[in-house]
Chains A and B, each alone.
Chain A
Amino acid sequence: MPAVSKGDGMRGLAVFISDIRNCKSKEAEVKRINKELANIRSKFKGDKALDGYSKKKYVCKLLFIFLLGHDIDFGHMEAVNLLSSNKYTEKQIGYLFISVLVNSNSDLIRLINNGIKNDLTSRNPTFMNLALHCIANVGSREMAEAFASQIPSILVAGDTMDSVKQSAALCLLRLNRTSPDLVPMGEWTARVVHLLNDQHLGVVTAAASLITTLAQKSPEDFKTSISLAVARLSRIVTSASIDLQDYTYYFVAAPWLSVKLLRLLQCYTPPEDAALRSRLTECLETILNKAQEPPKSKKVQHSNAKNAVLFEAIALIIHHDSEPTLLVRACNQLGQFLQHRETNLRYLALESMCTLASSEFSHEAVKTHIDTVINALKTERDVSVRQRAVDLLYAMCDRSNAKQIVAEMLSYLENADYSIREEIVLKVAILAEKYAVDYTWYVDTILNLIRMAGDHVSEEVWYRVIQIVINRDEVQGYAAKTVFEALQAPACHENLVKVGGYILGEFGNLIAGDSRSSPLVQFDLLHSKFHLCSVPTRALLLSAYIKFINLFPEVKTTIQEVLRSDSQLRNADVELQQRAIEYLRLSCIASTDILATVLEEMPPFPERESSILAKLKRKKGPGILPDIDDTRWNGNGNVEHSESSSPSLMADLLPTNRPRPSSSSPTIVVRCTFVTVLVNSRFVCKNNGVIFENQLLQIGLKSEYRQNLGRIYVFFGNKTSTQFLSFSSSVSVEALTLRSPQLNIHAKAVDPTVEGGAQLQQILNIECVSDFTDAPVLDIQFRYGGALQNIAVKLPVMLNKFFQPTEMKSQDFFQRWKQLGVPQQEVQTIFKAKHPMDTDVTNAKILGFGVALLDGVDPNPANFVGSGVIHTKSTQVGCLLRLEPNAQAEMYRLTLRTSRESVSQRLCDLLSDQF
């Protein structure tokens, strides 16, 4: 290389750059730049035609100004003019300006493309390269449209110079990345693959990248590249280091090409051909062997290049995941690197082992390094390396080492960098749940998390612990005891108060027997935190208090006092005020039974994937994510107050805004935005009527059934003079879907607007597939005066609706009665009459129940006998019943016999509630 001689090329540019560097302040720089811009503008606008050299110089100055971070809004035309210059340097500067400054929607694109076209067809390789570099640098759609079809032919033409082939290959790669639809596949693709055989290693290097990109998109079309890549790789790894001349880098043969070939092979599964496969295995073994050889140079470049190939080979071994020996060797190699003095290698070994941990062949081998990894977590000085160690511990965790790993992560958390705390918290929470053998350990772990890193514990984490405690009876007492103890700390994190409030509200009774945690002590403890908490937490605590009133009648007056205080009843926050007023009122007027129902323990949550996992995935995702912490869950109990909660978060803690399916409590209407309604048993024996009514809305229905089909007309009456907006009504059979659906319900869509005073009709078509217990729920949502209203009403769709009455003679009845003599087929219950025992009413009810009343069958005329058939899609179930009143005792005895135990039981439950 001839030494670069002194020259005075573009002297003006050097002076300008030097001036800028001498500027003492930002203002001086801006001033100097503005002066220059004015100068250039006047030159460009001047009458005198500028020569190529001046144009080049000025365009170059503009480029420099742009690279300093200033906007440039002129000079593009001059740059485009330079493209048509015959002087290489002028052309080159023109292309550089365009590559750096022109965005794709420029109106100059046609002119630019014209210049490029001329150079591409010039047959001058240096000009062709400039043009190809420009296309590759800009990579716009317009360029793809203009040249994508031309470049493949340049690439595979026999007479194209090597350097042009290289540029063409990578140019095509860029276009294929930005506009894959415009790059036509065709006859050239087969010939591109053969570039892997090219004599010129530079061509192979460039082509390997292109082929990898293409093979990722259409692996089938490029399958032939496997054998070529293996052959090429084999030649490289077995070559003496000097064979490849300038492609040997610090005694490593063609490291870039090797990495690319190994990468290409990762687009495919292991070769099927045995010979090819063993040749590849040999290559990989050779690479692993070389890692054990003494280094040929002390330079870091040597070890980096060698290890780059090694790591890529390991990536391929992991990708294939089929050769246990290679996987274990890879793991051992990485194990050595875990203790290497080079930080970079330790980092990469930790990273690579993470993927190795998920292979069944090497999971155990990875686990043997646990102590080294834990040590890394404690001693690495670089946070990014410690982060990798956390990732690896997470990846290698299983039931056998979960307690150790979770403990180590917890202890690391105390001193962990703030930037990674939240992620560690999520990981600990996931591992603790996934590998919990006993849930007391899980509860301890999560409470420790909150204690140590409360600020970094996202809502998902504390929702989840509550879900788990509610779903597992065996841990509830322990959880109550543990949160009670944790709350004793003088300063505890607000998240702990939330968990504590929720858990004591649900399960405080389990520890109330101990005088040290008597109801009053529990309440005082919670309330001592109240004033330090934010509004959402206070709201939650208020809900916990009303739950206490239900759990512990003895603290009722104390809590009522608190609710009655001005700081609650006149709280400036509407939510708190409303809760205080409603809870106080509820506690005063509701009977113990109603309180017990409204404030019943939360039903179990449906089991599903933890939202913490989703959160962890989101954290790893690209870009900036919406801050989901803005959405608050702020409720508790069956009574939910919320207007802005996101449904997904809500669903986490409130699997159901409606009561337990099997419950048969009386109607609850709590005036708030969420309303939950149970239909009482009135509708067992009748099909029409009003099922729900509040100040805003009345819901009535008419229903008709034939065999296994039913149709319900639902009428929504807007009782106000204002429109309901975004009105929707849908039926959920959620509780039923655990098994295959027993009911199919189709709800016709309704108009989203209900005018004031108007009535809206919705038709529901129902099909009974098999016998069922749980009633479907009608979910209604609408906007009234800005507030979102949610109402859930249980639909009176019960099994007996699908009865067809059957008349039969006494003889037949008894014959069938005897046939259904198996003990499981009969269900009998004796119960006290709740209503006056009137024969006509009873007759009507039995008919309403759906069976035929059979006169003269029973020898005792006071008894009622009925029969019918339950129609479901899958089967028909014959059913006989007998009701024996005892007027003196005011008791009934009800006996049901059907061919199916579940049907007998269900019908008996339904009917016995009617008298």
Chain B
Amino acid sequence: MQFMLLFSRQGKLRLQKWYVPLSDKEKKKITRELVQTVLARKPKMCSFLEWRDLKVVYKRYASLYFCCAIEEQDNELITLEIIHRYVELLDKYFGSVCELDIIFNFEKAYFILDEFLLGGEAQETSKKTVLKAIEQADLLQEVRPHHLESYPDYDCCHKEALLEVKLVLEHN
């Protein structure tokens, strides 16, 4: 995998992870182009598209798009499930995760991702093992992450749970 981007329906970038060395300028350009391309696609279109010499795999969960760029020989479907497993991990950790969790606890989102994917490859696919690693780290920690009630503002569209909505979307 070359990179993973999380962005909202409004096109706001929520998380970016690059597994190839690129300059900030290039990263911004790629992000802009890709966000535009993906947002322009209609709901029932397929989750894959060719983009430059890469394959882009994306999926929308409630208000958030998860978007990965993989190489020619990489497997699209397994990438789609990498995205899903990541969403599951976030969901389990935060408890019914929503976009706001990721905004206010972006560092946690990064830590979980690092436990799951490293160098663009799946490092540990067991949900239990990944969460145990994060949990252990939390035990070493004096404080806990913020959660919904503690977010100073309320914004219902960003509080939509990612996973439940996804299930609805799936069987439409």
What is A's interface to B at a CB cutoff of 8 Å? 1-10, 14-15, 17-18, 21-22, 60, 63-64, 67, 69, 71, 87-89, 92-93, 96, 99-100, 104, 126, 129, 133, 136-137, 139-140, 163, 166-167, 170-171, 173-174, 177-178, 201-202, 205-206, 209, 245-247, 249, 254-257, 259-260, 263, 266, 300-301, 304-305, 307-308, 311-312, 315, 343-344, 346-348, 381-382, 384-385, 387, 620-623
Q: Which residues of A contact B131 (CB under 8 A)?
A: 1
* Interface presence of B39 (CB below 8 A): no
Q: Which residues of B contact A4 (CB under 8 A)?
A: 93-95, 144-145, 147
Q: Is the CB of A382 within 8 A of B107?
A: no
Q: Is the CB of B152 within 8 A of A18?
A: yes
Known: A15-B152, A174-B118, A206-B122. 4 other contacts (CB 8 A): A166-B124, A170-B119, A206-B124, A384-B49
Q: Is the CB of A308 within 8 A of B77?
A: yes
CA distance A200 to B44 in the complex (A): 39
**A484 → B minimal CB distance (Å):** 41
Q: Which of B80, B106, B144 contacts A6 (CB 8 A)?
A: B144
Q: Which residues of A contact B93 (CB under 8 A)?
A: 1, 4
Query: Who on chain A is nearest to B103 by CB?
Result: A17
Q: Is the CB of A255 within 8 A of B121?
A: no
Q: Is the CB of A21 within 8 A of B153?
A: yes
Secondary structure at the B interface, as helix, strand, loop or mixed, is mixed
| Cβ proximity bits B122-149 to A, threshold 8 Å, 1 near / 0 not | 1111111101010111001111111101
Q: Which residues of A contact B129 (CB under 8 A)?
A: 163, 202, 246
Q: Which residues of A contact B107 (CB under 8 A)?
A: 60, 63, 92-93, 96
7 contacts between A and B (CB under 8 A): A5-B144, A163-B133, A206-B123, A256-B122, A266-B73, A308-B80, A308-B81
Query: Who on chain A is nearest to B32 by CB?
Result: A69
Q: Which residues of A contact B53 (CB under 8 A)?
A: 620-623
Q: Is the CB of A88 within 8 A of B137?
A: yes
Q: Which residues of B contact A129 (CB under 8 A)?
A: 133
| Cβ proximity bits B40-79 to A, threshold 8 Å, 1 near / 0 not | 0010111111101100000000000000000001011110
Q: Which residues of B contact A312 (CB under 8 A)?
A: 75, 78
Query: Who on chain B is nearest to A302 by CB?
Result: B81
* Interface presence of B28 (CB below 8 A): yes
Q: Is the CB of A104 within 8 A of B21?
A: yes
CA distance A170 to B123 in the complex (A): 7
CA distance A170 to B113 in the complex (A): 14
Q: Is the CB of A14 within 8 A of B146?
A: yes
Q: Is the CB of B81 within 8 A of A304?
A: yes
Q: Is the CB of A18 within 8 A of B153?
A: yes
CA distance A487 to B125 in the complex (A): 65
Q: Which of A171, A178, A348, A387 contacts B76 (CB 8 A)?
A: A348
Q: Which residues of A contact B77 (CB under 8 A)?
A: 304-305, 307-308, 311, 344, 348
Q: Which residues of A contact B82 (CB under 8 A)?
A: 256
Q: Which residues of B contact A307 (CB under 8 A)?
A: 77
Q: Is the CB of A92 within 8 A of B137?
A: yes
Q: Which residues of A contact B13 (CB under 8 A)?
A: 67, 69
Contact A136-B119, Cβ < 8 Å, known A9-B144, A202-B129: yes
Q: Is the CB of B28 within 8 A of A69?
A: yes
Q: Which residues of B contact A621 (CB under 8 A)?
A: 53
CA distance A308 to B145 in the complex (A): 35
Q: Which residues of A contact B19 (CB under 8 A)?
A: 174
Query: Who on chain A is nearest to B101 by CB?
Result: A4
CA distance A220 to B153 in the complex (A): 59
Query: Who on chain B is nearest to A306 by CB?
Result: B77
Contact A246-B144, Cβ < 8 Å, known A18-B153, A139-B21: no
Q: Which of A177, A300, A315 contacts B170 (CB 8 A)?
A: A300
CA distance A409 to B94 in the complex (A): 51
CA distance A137 to B19 in the complex (A): 7
Q: Which of A1, A7, A209, A384 contacts B92 (CB 8 A)?
A: A1
CA distance A396 to B55 in the complex (A): 23
Q: Which residues of B contact A245 (CB under 8 A)?
A: 126
CA distance A249 to B130 in the complex (A): 14
CA distance A846 to B129 in the complex (A): 98
* Interface presence of B16 (CB below 8 A): yes
Query: Who on chain A is nearest to B15 by CB?
Result: A67
Query: Who on chain B is nearest to A13 by CB?
Result: B104
CA distance A381 to B45 in the complex (A): 8
CA distance A9 to B140 in the complex (A): 13
Can you list the 4 inter-chain pairs with the closest CB atoms, starting with the nearest? Answer: A9-B143, A7-B144, A308-B77, A174-B119
**A222 → B minimal CB distance (Å):** 17
Q: Is the CB of A173 within 8 A of B121?
A: yes
Q: Which residues of A contact B44 (CB under 8 A)?
A: 343, 381-382
* Interface presence of B114 (CB below 8 A): yes
Q: Is the CB of A14 within 8 A of B140?
A: no
Q: Which residues of A contact B75 (CB under 8 A)?
A: 259, 263, 308, 311-312
Contact A126-B153, Cβ < 8 Å, known A69-B28, A174-B119, A259-B75: no
**A386 → B minimal CB distance (Å):** 11
**A305 → B minimal CB distance (Å):** 5
Query: Who on chain A is nearest to B127 by CB?
Result: A246
Q: Which residues of A contact B144 (CB under 8 A)?
A: 4-7, 9
**A512 → B minimal CB distance (Å):** 49
CA distance A63 to B129 in the complex (A): 28
Q: Is the CB of A89 within 8 A of B140?
A: yes
Query: Who on chain A is nearest to B28 by CB?
Result: A69
CA distance A96 to B144 in the complex (A): 18
CA distance A301 to B79 in the complex (A): 11
Q: Is the CB of A3 within 8 A of B95?
A: yes
* Residue picked from B53, B121, B125, B133, most chain A C-beta under 10 Å: B121
CA distance A312 to B80 in the complex (A): 14
CA distance A482 to B78 in the complex (A): 52
Q: Is the CB of B80 within 8 A of A10?
A: no
* Residue picked from A14, A96, A171, A315, most chain B C-beta under 10 Å: A14
Q: Is the CB of A14 within 8 A of B152?
A: yes
Q: Which residues of A contact B85 (CB under 8 A)?
A: 249
* Interface presence of B159 (CB below 8 A): no
Q: Is the CB of A348 within 8 A of B48?
A: yes
Query: Who on chain A is nearest to B126 by CB?
Result: A246
CA distance A621 to B95 in the complex (A): 44
Q: Is the CB of A96 within 8 A of B123?
A: no
Q: Is the CB of A305 within 8 A of B94?
A: no
* Residue picked from B45, B81, B93, B145, most chain A C-beta under 10 Å: B81
Q: Is the CB of B106 within 8 A of A64?
A: yes
Query: Who on chain B is nearest to A244 by CB?
Result: B126
Contact A163-B48, Cβ < 8 Å, known A60-B107, A88-B137, A249-B85: no
Contact A209-B48, Cβ < 8 Å, known A14-B151, A89-B140, A96-B107: no
Query: Who on chain A is nearest to B141 by CB?
Result: A89
Q: Is the CB of A178 within 8 A of B21?
A: yes
Contact A126-B128, Cβ < 8 Å, known A167-B123, A174-B19, A384-B45: no
Q: Which of B16, B24, B136, B146 contacts A126 (CB 8 A)?
A: B136
Q: Which residues of B contact A96 (CB under 8 A)?
A: 107, 110-111
CA distance A60 to B49 in the complex (A): 35
Q: Is the CB of A171 within 8 A of B135?
A: no
Q: Is the CB of A249 within 8 A of B104?
A: no
Query: Who on chain B is nearest to A312 by CB?
Result: B75
**A316 → B minimal CB distance (Å):** 11
Q: Which residues of A contact B73 (CB under 8 A)?
A: 263, 266, 315
**A333 → B minimal CB distance (Å):** 14
**A342 → B minimal CB distance (Å):** 8
* Residue picked from B120, B124, B141, B147, most chain A C-beta under 10 Å: B124
Q: Which residues of A contact B136 (CB under 8 A)?
A: 126
Q: Is the CB of B92 within 8 A of A347?
A: no
CA distance A301 to B110 in the complex (A): 24
Contact A133-B76, Cβ < 8 Å, known A5-B144, A178-B21: no
Q: Is the CB of B140 within 8 A of A22?
A: no
Contact A384-B48, Cβ < 8 Å, known A14-B151, A246-B128, A249-B125: yes
